[in-house]
Structure 1
Amino acid sequence: MKKNLLLPVAAVFVSLLFFACVKDTDFDQAEDIALTPVIELDLIYFNLTASNFFDSINNTPILTVTDTTDIRFLDDAQIQESLRRADFYFKFSNGIPRSFQVDFQFLSETNDTTYTTQTNVTQGTPQDPVITEFEEVVEGDDITRLTAASKVVVSVTIPSSNETLEGTLNLQSKTTYYLEF
């Protein structure tokens, strides 16, 4: 009985070998594959009040407020080699009746400036905050300078301030990184 079962199974196997479709595969194409992930990350955010721009103890205006944020994502060697473009998006909501100049300074580990950009924020009121959006696209030679940064310093400068100034200035931002491996 085993002999009778073995013959039909062998016949089916042999006929599948002759009639099966086989597509030629070019394994050299594997070198042409590129992975292009897109990564979105929150960058920096803050909520400043008008009182941040006035020293009530000394009764003097503080015209520039500064904050530093580490951006350790860029210090990876593989990321530095693979980064093709970075899109920065900043959204300010200004409820302070003053305009602002905002400077972004990207610094290396040794505090050397590697990349800078700036924008102006339109004045608003506490009752009617004004939205200002700013986008910066970094690519080409600027990518090399950007990836040398390990932190970003944000400096917010107000033209004048006093103890009666009211309102808030908020920032939300994100970065979209375009990589190619």
Structure 2
Amino acid sequence: MMKYPQILLVIFLSSIVTSCFQNTDFDQANDVVITPVVELDLIYFDIDASQFYDVETNTPNLVVRDTTAIEFIDGNDIRDALVRAEFLFDFTNSIPSNFSVNFDFLNTNNEVRYSSFTQVNAGSASLPVETIYIDNVENEEIENLTSSNKVVISVTIPSSSSSLFGTLNLKSKATYYLEID
């Protein structure tokens, strides 16, 4: 024998199940657009000031380069769905010098497809300086970016000596905005 609350529960659940299917236009499923956002760590490094000076030859090394594969964006599915990319570069500098930093996105033939540039402010051992750079890529630049499979970072110092000390740290993140229909 059903009790009064159980009867109400059965009636309530029955009305929910039938109401979910009334007046439903299943042709609207073709109009659905999914817009996922994917966040990935991109590049990180710690460059010691000693890397900007060769003690064996007693000469400055004014440019330090690093290459990182970026396999996520060069696939056909991503290439067709990517509408915007945002790169966040977070530098912490305890070297008493400014830096110029170039980001060159290259294809398999090592041709530059997309490029970006920033300045990093000088810091000190007692007071490291944080410099944040955000690069938004959209519109026609997306096609160039998605034809890339690696990024080369070139860190340039204006001058160097054997007495230079400190570190330059980089942490970065890529946020990809996709549209899948």
Per the normalisation by structure 1, the TM-score is: 0.88
Overall identity of the aligned pairs, in %: 51
What is the identity, as a one-letter code, of the residue corresponding to 2:152? V
| Structure 1 gap ranges (5+) | 1-15
| Equivalent position of 1:102 in the other structure | 101
Q: How many pairs are equivalent?
A: 163
| Structure 2 gap ranges (5+) | 1-13
Output the CA distance in 2 between the equivalents of 1:178 and 1:43: 15
User: How far is 1:24 from its partner?
Assistant: 2.0
SS of match in other structure, 2:35: coil
Output the CA distance in 2 between the equivalents of 1:34 and 1:56: 58
The aligned runs of 1:1-181 (5 Å cut-off) are: 23-181=22-180
Highest Rg: 1 or 2? 1
Output the CA distance in 2 between the equivalents of 1:80 and 1:163: 46
Could you list the per-position Cα deviations for residues 82-131 of structure 1 after superposition, in whole angstroms to 9, with x for gaps in the alignment? Answer: 00100100000000000000000000011111000000000001111100
Output the CA distance in 1 between the equivalents of 2:126 and 2:95: 9
What is the identity, as a one-letter code, of the residue corresponding to 2:101? V
User: How far is 1:43 from its partner?
Assistant: 0.5
Per the normalisation by structure 2, the TM-score is: 0.88
RMSD, aligned CA: 1.2
Moved over 6 A (4+): none
What is the identity, as a one-letter code, of the residue corresponding to 2:129? V
User: How far is 1:28 from its partner?
Assistant: 1.2
SS of match in other structure, 1:159: coil
Output the CA distance in 1 between the equivalents of 2:64 and 2:51: 8
What is the identity, as a one-letter code, of the residue corresponding to 1:155? S
Could you list the per-position Cα deviations for residues 117-154 of structure 1 after superposition, in whole angstroms to 9, with x for gaps in the alignment? Answer: 00000000111110000001001111011000000000
What is the identity, as a one-letter code, of the residue corresponding to 1:72? E
